[in-house]
Amino acid sequence: MIELKDIVVKFGDFEALHNINVNVKEGEFFTFLGPSGCGKTTTLRTITGFIEPVSGTVSVNEQDITHVPIEKRNIGIVFQSYALFPHLSVWDNIAFGLKIQKLGEDEIKRRTTEALKILNLQGYENRKPKDLSGGQKQRVALCRALVKQSPYFLLDEPLSNLDAQLRQQARTELVRIHEIYKPTMIYVTHDQIEAMTVANRIVVMRDGVLQQAGTPDVIYHHPANTFVAGFIGSPAMNIVSGYYSSGKLKIGDVVSDVPELWQKILAGHTNVLVGIRPEHLKPAADGKIKGCVSYQENTGNQRTVTVNVNGETVFVTLPGVGAEISGNIGLDFNWDEVSLFNAETKENIGYVQKGEIVR
């Protein structure tokens, strides 16, 4: 288990991490997700010991390692730039770290052979990095971390240099490695699809501040604030302004009844932001939202319809084939699939799960 407690990191006067609290469980595939510059790499470097926090503690298995030097931490890391040694062969690049650790010849051979097999690099042992494709280089870098067989495996945007197809392949490989060795994996990415597909749990960060920690499911369906709502999903969650008063919600000119449970959530609020995923909006003449279609895009399996709702842009995704829609339309949503945010703080004000209100 890796625990970050009230971690603050500063570079001069600039505070890069503000009070980060995270608990990574043993054997978990954990991801840090957020836009470039939000502090993901800084967080990883704090765990590995490259950066010392100005306050807070880093613990591994309940032992405070905040001031333990890097080389004593036994944490494998794969960096964003994979920096292979250009003059060494694939085999020597992978075995290098094990030689430094002074492992026996046989053990080095056994581990290197096994890692090459797992990442489908057999036959490439004698090649130099310059004679490999980007994807192969990235896999060599993964092997290099893998052979250390440390119980913790940290990856900093390890797939960022791959094209879309190879990325998907490499993702599958990572999930497989995780299933075989069950290391505690901390994976950093700015790519929400990557985070959603590999992780058991995701932490979303913004400007050095933790926004939300949860399973991919919770992060997707119940974002903690409008930033998380807008960062996850493509197109992202729609956010429209609403006005709540005595059991009724008004979006634009349309007033609709609010079911009892949601009335409880909305009690005390007037101006709210209503968040609805594009796939949860359905054309319906008597819908709770009215707007005008401004654009349509068909990608074969899916249509994305852009609708102007009182000056706010709303995306609706529909099956690729279906009735033509255009002009003024009504859109409906199901209350179970809605996120509600405070219009000022942008924080989620509560949702219903299994008939109970969660705040």
- The smaller minimum CB distance to ligand ADP, of residues 13 and 286, is found at 13
> According to the binding rule CB under 6 A, does residue 4 interact with ligand ADP?
no
Q: 24 forms bridges with which residues in the sheet? A: 2
Determine the Cα–Cα distance for residues 178 and 141; give it in Å rounded to an integer. 16
Choice from 40, 137, 171, 290 touching ligand ADP (CB under 6 A): 40
> According to the binding rule CB under 6 A, does residue 183 interact with ligand ADP?
no
Determine the Cα–Cα distance for residues 258 and 177; give it in Å rounded to an integer. 48
**Cβ-count burial of 56 within 10 angstroms (0-12 exposed, 13-18 middle, 19+ buried)?**
middle
Q: Whole-number minimum distance, CB 162 to Mg ion, in Å?
A: 16
Four-residue CA torsion sign, 71, 73, 76, 80: negative
**Cβ-count burial of 324 within 10 angstroms (0-12 exposed, 13-18 middle, 19+ buried)?**
exposed
- The smaller minimum CB distance to ligand ADP, of residues 40 and 280, is found at 40
Determine the Cα–Cα distance for residues 245 and 121; give it in Å rounded to an integer. 63
| DSSP 3-state percent helix, strand, coil across the chain (nearest 5) | 30, 35, 35
The stretch near ligand ADP (CB under 6 A) out of 11-19, 134-142, 255-263, 264-272 is 11-19
Picking from 27, 33, 18, 17, the residue whose alpha carbon sits closest to that of residue 214 is: 33
> According to the binding rule CB under 6 A, does residue 42 interact with ligand ADP?
yes
Given ligand ADP, Mg ion, none, residue 63, with its beta carbon under 5 to 8 Å by kind, binds none
- The smaller minimum CB distance to ligand ADP, of residues 38 and 95, is found at 38
The count of other CB atoms within 10 Å of the CB of residue 8 is 16
> According to the binding rule CB under 6 A, does residue 189 interact with ligand ADP?
no
> According to the binding rule CB under 5 A, does residue 339 interact with Mg ion?
no
> According to the binding rule CB under 5 A, does residue 41 interact with Mg ion?
yes
Q: Whole-number minimum distance, CB 120 to Mg ion, in Å?
A: 27
> According to the binding rule CB under 6 A, does residue 339 interact with ligand ADP?
no
By rule CB under 6 A, what count of residues binds ligand ADP?
A: 11
Picking from 132, 148, 145, 158, the residue whose alpha carbon sits closest to that of residue 79 is: 158
Structure tokens, 304: 């994305």
The stretch near Mg ion (CB under 5 A) out of 39-47, 128-136, 235-243, 275-283 is 39-47
> According to the binding rule CB under 6 A, does residue 290 interact with ligand ADP?
no
Given Mg ion, ligand ADP, none, residue 355, with its beta carbon under 5 to 8 Å by kind, binds none
Give the binding site for Mg ion (CB under 5 A): 41
Give the binding site for ligand ADP (CB under 6 A): 11, 14, 16, 34, 36-42
